[in-house]
Amino acid sequence: MENKTYYIITLGCQMNERDSENVAGILSDMGYSEATARENAGIIIVNTCSVRENADNRFFGILGQLKKIKEKAPETIVGVCGCMMQQQQIVDKVREKYSWVDLVFGTHNIHMLSELLGNIIAEHRKIVSILGGSSEIVEGLPSKRMFPFKAYVDIMHGCNNFCTYCIVPFTRGREISRSPGNIVREIENLVKDGVLEVTLLGQNVNSYDGQKGVSQTGDARVGFSELLQMIENVQGLERVRFMTSHPKDLDDETIAIFGNKNSNLCPGVHLPVQSGSSRILEAMNRRYTKEDYLLLVEKLRAANPDIVITTDFIVGFPGETEEDFDETIDLIEKVRYDSAFTFIYSPRFGTPAAKSKDQVPEDVKHERFNRMVKRLNEITLEKNKLYLAREEEVLVEGVSKTNAQMLQGRTHGGKLVNFPGEVGIAGHTPLGHIARNDSSGAESLIGRIVPVRIVDVNTFSFIGEMV
């Protein structure tokens, strides 16, 4: 194959982003380099998400676009992977209607990518390779990280919760936890490579249950709070975050760590609630009530009054009444979230909720959605205004996506900050006046933690100035 370049399109969550880093690492080890555009790539891989209907629609739209690339360059290899490929009806649809796809693989056999590609190139044939599940996690896969100074670290795979709207347990399989020793060693090596911040990943990190090893008393088990304490001891690691938490498994020991001022655990937690109605939560099989959730929020804020709390909401779950929706708005008023990801319920094939005959009309779902988002955004802006004139430690991630004359980064609590790129107190050299390869300029700040004073806010980000 002459064109030794690749391009990866990633849909969905942070776990998918982490999987794409492994795909990129494998391809890099095979001698491929990253293409600047998919039109120029020798291999194009789409990493799919099955959680929302819009991700499905986007995927099939992308396949339509890739057909044109394939027609102009027939030697281009098109591959698809990820959660959608763990659903037989999706694989059948790809086979029948998207004949230009050369490779289909799933969430459990990323480690086989080099072998699969080798067979395609050598034998000039299409391959579909899907594993139904796995009882172990393949360790040590190569990875090409998106950032040199921060990294994703998966601590477990799969989910045992079976929320009635969610397909993830069927696409990612049952929960499997990595050993804490392997996790800590990976983080130690990342820190040696310049990483300041890690984000621990899992479908439900709170249910982490790792095996520490064999001792005289048997196999010692390590829970999530104990894992955080082990990671806390890694020298040089400045920040630890985690995604995603399930409220039913967030224990007092983990909450207490948020109150430890010497901990490197960032004061931010994403705690998806989905609904404020206990009746709907039961129908969702979430296994907590509105009151349980509010007690967790109370404990979190007692441990750390400045903690940033974000969440997920699903609007229009089957059977949701106006009274149920009012309960959700009431929860929003009581918690006052820093931000939220909001979704209109869409049926997922194979889930119990999709079979419900009590579906909420589309116009009702959209009207409730708009009302909820409006109130959430109002509260977010109100909370953001409390940061005005405060000094925050910001990990600089790169050039702002909205203004090339600015840098952007995140506070300890995860708030996005844009600020003028300057050398420092004495330099005051705007980013636009600095060459990209000038290590003495503002871009040398990328990957560093710097003090920034917040001078203006909006709903989704802050404006700051370096102190």
**Residue 88 has which token pair?**
């037989």
Task: Report the pLDDT averaged over residues 231-247.
Answer: 96
Q: What share of the chain is helix, strand, coil (3-state, %, to 5)?
A: 40, 25, 40
Whole-number pLDDT of residue 33: 97
Q: Is the pLDDT of residue 76 over 60?
A: yes
Does this model's pTM top 0.75? My answer is yes
Q: Is the pLDDT of residue 135 over 90?
A: no
**What 8-state DSSP symbol labels residue 265?**
B
Task: Report the pLDDT averaged over residues 280-306.
Answer: 98
Please give the span between the terminal C-alpha atoms of the chain, in angstroms, as a whole number: 52
80 neighbors 45 (Cβ within 8 angstroms): yes
Angle (CA) 88-90-93 rounded to 5° is 110
Instruction: Look at the alpha carbons of 54, 55, 60, 63 in this order and tell me if their dihedral is positive or negative.
Output: positive
Q: Is the pLDDT of residue 68 over 50?
A: yes
Which of 129-138, 160-169, 423-432 comes out lowest in average pLDDT? Answer: 423-432
61 neighbors 68 (Cβ within 8 angstroms): no
Q: What is the pLDDT of residues 294-346, one digit of tens each?
A: 999 999 999 999 999 999 999 999 999 999 999 999 999 999 999 999 999 99
Quick one: residue 213, left, alpha or beta (phi over 0 = left, psi -120 to 50 = alpha)?
left
Chain position carrying tokens 């116009």: 363
Task: Report the pLDDT averaged over residues 449-457.
Answer: 97
Whole-number pLDDT of residue 137: 86
Average pLDDT, the chain: 91
Q: What is the pLDDT of residues 11-48, one digit of tens each?
A: 988 999 999 999 999 999 999 999 999 999 999 999 99
Whole-number pLDDT of residue 443: 58
Give the full edge-to-edge strand order of the sheet including 150-154.
150-154, 197-201, 239-243
Provide the pLDDT confidence category of residue 219 given band limits of 50, 70 and 90.
low
Quick one: residue 158, left, alpha or beta (phi over 0 = left, psi -120 to 50 = alpha)?
left
| 298 vs 168, residue with greater confidence | 298
Q: Is the pLDDT of residue 444 over 90?
A: no
223 neighbors 208 (Cβ within 8 angstroms): yes
Rounded CA gap, 143 and 28, in Å? 9
Rounded CA gap, 446 and 407, in Å? 8
Which of 187-191, 217-221, 421-425 comes out lowest in average pLDDT? Answer: 421-425
Task: Report the pLDDT averaged over residues 122-129.
Answer: 94
Give the full edge-to-edge strand order of the sheet including 268-270.
268-270, 308-315, 339-344
Task: Report the pLDDT averaged over residues 264-284.
Answer: 98
Provide the pLDDT confidence category of residue 266 given band limits of 50, 70 and 90.
very high
Whole-number pLDDT of residue 133: 73
The pairing of beta strand 406-411 with beta strand 391-399: antiparallel
Rounded CA gap, 32 and 53, in Å? 33
Angle (CA) 299-305-310 rounded to 5° is 75
Whole-number pLDDT of residue 422: 52
Nearest to 327 by CA among 341, 338, 313: 313
Provide the pLDDT confidence category of residue 425 given band limits of 50, 70 and 90.
very low
Provide the pLDDT confidence category of residue 238 given band limits of 50, 70 and 90.
very high
Task: Report the pLDDT averaged over residues 396-402.
Answer: 92
